[in-house]
């Protein structure tokens, strides 16, 4: 059993995987002010919640897009497990063939998503990750990572809207009762939630047209559960996709 952690700009996704089965997926807030001990306590509490003894863990793996806290979290994991931690970066084998101008620029979270996608689903593949940014990754029929798109995340868009307008309030991100809003709050909710669903539908359609064939579409990330049910495109929701990818990468490098 391994501990898999993805450090994102807004959330830290944590989960345990045993024999390719994801035991749980939880999210903690990313906080650059927390100390090694504070993170260690948070991780230990999550493990205890699922009745997992840190001594049962065979190892850990981390992907991160927040370099300033990567080592802090690595050390916090070592503190509670007593074992070395693998960090996705130079020298770590992923088995992913990246056909981009500069493969080194591809985020480790997107690498992990693609690795899991190739193992779990038919190609070609469109992977949508809805976090602080909404990213779209495309894997072709030959299992090559050929590129993608980066868009403002749903919460980023919502926060920017309220910050730049004097009379629009902050809102929760849930679908309104009706598509056509009849008050300011519902109008905002519909525009943000349904608007993003329509954007995803449109991007999927354009990508498949560009590929010249139908692709498997998989969505993950903290806000995917809110948006995917409103999409017209056929999209598979896989909340554990990234953690599965970390597990595949861990096993590949352990061997």
Annotated binding site for ATP: 6-13, 132
**Torsion on CA atoms 75, 81, 84, 88, rounded to nearest 10:** -70
User: Which of 31, 101, 109, 140 is labelled catalytic?
Assistant: 109
Q: What is the DSSP letter of 169?
A: P
Which residues fall in the annotated binding site? Answer: 6-13, 107-110, 129, 132, 184
Distance CA 49, CA 221 (A): 22
Distance CA 108, CA 96 (A): 11
Is the N-terminal amide bond of 124 cis, ω within 30° of 0? yes
Known catalytic residue: 201? no
Q: Which two tokens stand for residue 169?
A: 């309030």
Of 78, 152, 114, 122, nearest to 215 by C-alpha is 122
Which residues fall in the annotated binding site for substrate? Answer: 107-110, 184
Q: Map residue 38 onto helix, strand or coil.
A: helix
Q: Which residues pair with 148 in a beta bridge?
A: 137
Catalytic residue annotation: 109
């Amino acid at each position: 059993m391994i501990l898999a952690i993805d450090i994102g700009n807004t959330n830290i996704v944590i989960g345990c995987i045993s024999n390719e089965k994801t035991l749980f997926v939880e999210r903690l807030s990313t906080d650059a002010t927390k100390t090694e001990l504070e993170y260690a306590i948070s991780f230990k509490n999550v493990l205890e919640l699922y009745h997992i003894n840190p001594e049962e863990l065979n190892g850990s793996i981390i992907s991160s897009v927040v370099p300033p806290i990567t080592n802090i979290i690595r050390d916090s994991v070592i503190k509670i497990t007593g074992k070395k931690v693998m960090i996705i970066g130079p020298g770590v084998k992923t088995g992913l063939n990246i056909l981009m101008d500069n493969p080194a620029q591809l985020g480790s979270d997107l690498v992990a998503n693609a690795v899991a996608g190739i193992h779990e689903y038919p190609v070609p593949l469109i992977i949508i990750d809805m976090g602080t940014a909404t990213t779209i990754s495309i894997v072709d029929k030959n299992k090559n990572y050929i590129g993608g798109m980066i868009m403002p995340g749903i919460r980023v868009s919502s926060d920017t809207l309220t910050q730049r307008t004097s009379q629009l309030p902050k809102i929760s991100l849930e679908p309104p009762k009706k598509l056509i809003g009849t008050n300011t709050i519902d109008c905002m909710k519909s525009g943000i939630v349904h608007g993003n669903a329509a954007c995803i539908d449109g991007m999927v359609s354009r990508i498949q047209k560009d590929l010249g064939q139908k692709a498997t579409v998989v969505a993950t990330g903290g806000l995917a559960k809110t948006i995917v049910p409103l999409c017209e495109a056929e999209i598979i929701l896989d909340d554990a996709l990234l953690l599965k990818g970390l597990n595949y990468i861990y096993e590949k490098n352990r061997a």
